[in-house]
Structure 1
């Protein structure tokens, strides 16, 4: 395909219900008739594909089947996303009930890392990062905590729900100090010494920060947002991703990807996202962002779509439902990953987490 490979820093309505897995409440958007991407057959291979232009994908059944047999009973609960170490190519993910996993760079082997029972709780978001020269992971466990880990799975810090006196942002302090508050953390990212956490499963719809002090991670002073429709406010801040010195937020019920300065200042929103797309996450590779809607957009789509996007323009709509992948209808997270061949060539894959019925799948970029 001849892609240039760019590096990345990491790799509604005010009544929006925020319960842990009640994703269906965001159905009040007007649906349009999207551009459908029918599956077609590839010459003599009879392989189903989906997408347009430089981003046409098929289902890689072999790599999908590398999912660990011992984890199959837990797959239906899986939807917490992926992140990776750009130096080694190791991909990290979590399977509720099974544990935190490292996937080999060629996507063929899964290994459980860490023995702490907390790692078997639902991992709703994850980030790999390097802080003061040392590699770490942070994981968002909705309703419970943010864990900061060494990459062998040992826990460095267990960051619990704020008390309501931590932030230089009155709405966040007021929310967390109230008896009715919950801890609805959904995702984490890292930029320049800070962990940024999205807190979207809540009436307290914020971006919060966590900072390291003397080896321990605790809540920082910076927070912003709040539920609403004004620039800088959120309608389910579901995913958060650091890229090119900025923070990108998947503002799910609003169908937006929103760009902020590291201090929380609003910059802009992505253009040309199909109306009705409940955007769950953001990731980046090959000079394009990849993100998905939670569910099909319009009656003609067989599954939730994945978008390849420049930030200004939508360049491909990838519909895994066109590939006859069992179970996969709703999608919670997508992550682009390159596998390097023996001759130095690089093959792009998309790792997909389904939602509601779980399901892990790997899509392969067609040549």
Structure 2
């Protein structure tokens, strides 16, 4: 277990400072016992009172309430980036583990990075032209491999997973051919030319594997890729399938890696039925903390999670569509131990009223403070019918409510 010094900023998915400790000033007591999302560690129990959890743009940790403050001074975008995002921001972002930059790919614009102080988004220097040619960052993961910081992006626009070192593309994983995986049914799907549509990607450090979910296809799977003799290839475990075919998924849309009871766990957000599943890196389903009769976490009615971000004991879930009580716009739902503890509704804020559909969210720390980078999806159909909504990136800070 990697020990984190108090208030150290880190984006390592299984070695995060506990949010619960951070917000109540007791971080020093938990960092040595807790790597990331490890539920075996001693943690404060989040309040789950339904009335409190339903309060717009607040969340509860222990007996404390926090509100989200829009930081208009952060995340400046150029006019060209704003124009590209309005028409095509179908994205998520992630944090480089060495530089603390935030990175994403804006379709028809390019690979962009937000400086560690989160002041301004800029195009990455000397990037491969591919990044501006139409691919997106539907899913993003920054990870360390052999001492190097790599960025992986799952592009639904171009049907590939791109692995890069800053702007240099190291590999592009396209559709499997069949025969690469341990599951023969999944091999047969790809041998027959089954559609490949990668929604999200994450690196599992202990398994030394990339995990890719493919919810935008009849083959709704989690697939594994490994670096074999210096080349990234599909290889090893694969699992899943749609519920109507006996599988667990109904659009596997987001994927994260964490630790639960000291074990590496792959968490999958299955969008259409609002569920969060947990698996070993070999595909065995595990009991999620907070789940009871079923192993998965069942989210509130109408929840359609596009992605998931983990910080401490909290799970941040950007929802595609509104909840019954979110005034017609989608929130970022905040869940702890399987229960909602609050939300962020970006469209409630002045100047952000067109952020109707949430697609990405990344929780990060700066100087012991929690920030959230929220990305919204522009619905072209709604725009064509006069109900404007834009792709937009906004940054929020969690502050104690008075």
**Of 270-279 and 355-364, the range deviating more from structure 2:** 270-279
When residues 37 and 218 of structure 1 are mapped into structure 2, their CA distance, relative to the original with a 3 A threshold, is same
CA distance in 2, matches of 1:195, 1:153: 19
Partner of 2:334: 308
When residues 205 and 166 of structure 1 are mapped into structure 2, their CA distance, relative to the original with a 3 A threshold, is same
CA distance in 2, matches of 1:54, 1:132: 41
Partner of 2:299: 273
Q: Secondary structure at the match of 2:164?
A: strand
> Is residue 118 of structure 1 aligned with residue 136 of structure 2?
no
- Within the candidate set 94, 106, 123, 1:95 is matched to 106
CA distance in 2, matches of 1:238, 1:118: 24
Partner of 1:364: 397
* 1:255-294 correspondence runs (5 A): 255-269=274-288, 271=297, 273-294=299-320
When residues 350 and 153 of structure 1 are mapped into structure 2, their CA distance, relative to the original with a 3 A threshold, is same
List per-residue Cα deviations over 1:34-92 (Å, max 9, x = no partner). Answer: 97435xxxxxxxxxx6445533112222214x123331110121131111124432211
* 1:139-288 correspondence runs (5 A): 139-142=153-156, 143-150=158-165, 152-179=166-193, 181-191=194-204, 192=206, 193-228=208-243, 233-244=248-259, 245-269=264-288, 271=297, 273-288=299-314
List per-residue Cα deviations over 1:102-144 (Å, max 9, x = no partner). Answer: 2112110223225212212122111111112222111111142
The alignment's C-alpha RMSD in Å is 2.4
1:34–1:274 contact (8 Å) kept in structure 2: no
When residues 202 and 34 of structure 1 are mapped into structure 2, their CA distance, relative to the original with a 3 A threshold, is farther
Give how far 1:268 is off: 2.6
CA distance in 2, matches of 1:301, 1:51: 18
- Within the candidate set 55, 60, 64, 1:37 is matched to 55
Partner of 2:353: 326
Partner of 1:339: 366
**Of 198-207 and 315-324, the range deviating more from structure 2:** 315-324
Give how far 1:148 is off: 1.1
1:125–1:139 contact (8 Å) kept in structure 2: yes
Extract unaligned runs of 5+ from structure 1: 10-32, 39-48, 341-345
TM-score scaled by length of structure 2: 0.75
1:332–1:353 contact (8 Å) kept in structure 2: yes
Q: Secondary structure at the match of 2:198?
A: coil
Q: Secondary structure at the match of 1:61?
A: coil
2:94–2:142 contact (8 Å) kept in structure 1: yes
1:302–1:319 contact (8 Å) kept in structure 2: no
